[in-house]
Chains A and B, each alone.
Chain A
C-alpha cells in the first residue's frame, strides 16, 4: 500500500467490509517496504475508521519495532499478515481434538442410554421370572395341603386298623345285612387288597 491515495483506499475498504457484515474479522495488513509507507498507518482518519469498524480488527502493519497508531486502535496486533491469519484461524489439531471430544461425549451418552435400557429389561425379566416361580410354588403348597387333608380324611384309613368294607359289584358300600342276598357276589376291601366273596347266609339281628 503506497502513495497518497493509500489512506482513502484503506478507509473505503474497511468501511465496505464493515457494511458487508459477513466477515468475522478485518485484518489491516502491509507487505513490507520503506519506513515512509508506515506513515499512512499513522493517519488519524484511518485510525478513526478502524476504531469505528463494527467488526473485530487486527492490525498487521509493521514489524516488531514499528508500532503505528493503527496498531494501537485495532482490537489486536500481529507482527505480520501471516501471523494475523494464524491468530484468526484455529489450529487444525485443536479442532480435531475438540471434534474427538464431542464424538466421545455423544458415544458416552448413547452407551449410557443403552445400558439403562438393558438394566431395565433385565430387571423386568427377573421380576417376571420371580412372579412365575412364586405362582407355581404357591400352587404346589396349596395342592399339598389339600392332599394331606384328603388322606387324613380317607374312609379307608380304618382298614389299617383291621376293619373291612363290603362293596357290591357296582361299587356301592354294603352296610346292612339287608343289602345281601344268598349267593350274591361282593367285594371285601381290606388294608392290602380286595377279596372277591359270595354271600352264604345273611342274618339280620
Chain B
C-alpha cells in the first residue's frame, strides 16, 4: 500500500468513526487499524523525507559546472 493509499484508508476510517451508529466492536477494530495505518505512514514519510534531504544536499554540493574561462 502506498503512502497516499494509506492516507485514503485513514480518511475512510475517520469518517466511519465519525458516524454515531458504529458499534463499539467495530469502532475498536477501526481504531486499531487506524493507529497501525498512521504508524506505518509516519515511518514511510520519515524515510522519504530523509531521502529528499540527502538528494537536496547532493544537488547543492555537486552542481558545479567546470568553468571555461581559463
B contact residues around A149 at 8 Å (CB): 14, 18
Closest to A189 in B: B28
B31 with A121: CB separation less than 8 A: no
B3 with A165: CB separation less than 8 A: no
Q: Complex formed: what's the CA distance from A136 to B69 in Å?
A: 40
B contact residues around A133 at 8 Å (CB): 52, 56
B14 with A146: CB separation less than 8 A: yes
Contact with B along A168-192 (1 / 0, CB 8 A): 0001110100000000000000000
Is A147's beta carbon under 8 Å from chain B?
Answer: yes
Q: Complex formed: what's the CA distance from A128 to B7 in Å?
A: 24
Interface residues of B in 19-70 (CB under 8 A from A): 23-25, 27-29, 31, 34-35, 38, 41-42, 45, 48-49, 52, 55-56, 59, 63, 65, 68-69
Q: Number of contact residues on B: which range applies?
A: 20 to 34
Q: Complex formed: what's the CA distance from A157 to B59 in Å?
A: 47
A143 with B41: CB separation less than 8 A: yes
B contact residues around A107 at 8 Å (CB): 69
B69 with A150: CB separation less than 8 A: no
B38 with A150: CB separation less than 8 A: yes
A129 with B17: CB separation less than 8 A: no
A175 with B68: CB separation less than 8 A: no
A156 with B31: CB separation less than 8 A: yes
Given contact pairs A132-B52, A153-B17, A173 touches B28 in the complex (Cβ within 8 A): yes
Closest to A137 in B: B49
Q: Complex formed: what's the CA distance from A113 to B61 in Å?
A: 22
A143 with B59: CB separation less than 8 A: no
B residues in contact (CB < 8 Å) with A: 3, 7, 10-11, 13-14, 17-18, 23-25, 27-29, 31, 34-35, 38, 41-42, 45, 48-49, 52, 55-56, 59, 63, 65, 68-69
Q: 9 closest pairs, A vs B, by CB?
A: A155-B27, A153-B17, A173-B25, A173-B24, A146-B10, A150-B34, A118-B65, A149-B14, A132-B52
| A and B contact pairs by CB, cutoff 8 A, 29 listed | A107-B69, A111-B68, A125-B63, A132-B55, A132-B56, A136-B49, A136-B52, A140-B45, A143-B41, A143-B42, A146-B10, A146-B11, A146-B14, A147-B42, A149-B14, A149-B18, A150-B10, A150-B14, A150-B38, A153-B17, A153-B31, A154-B31, A155-B17, A156-B28, A165-B24, A173-B23, A173-B25, A173-B28, A175-B23
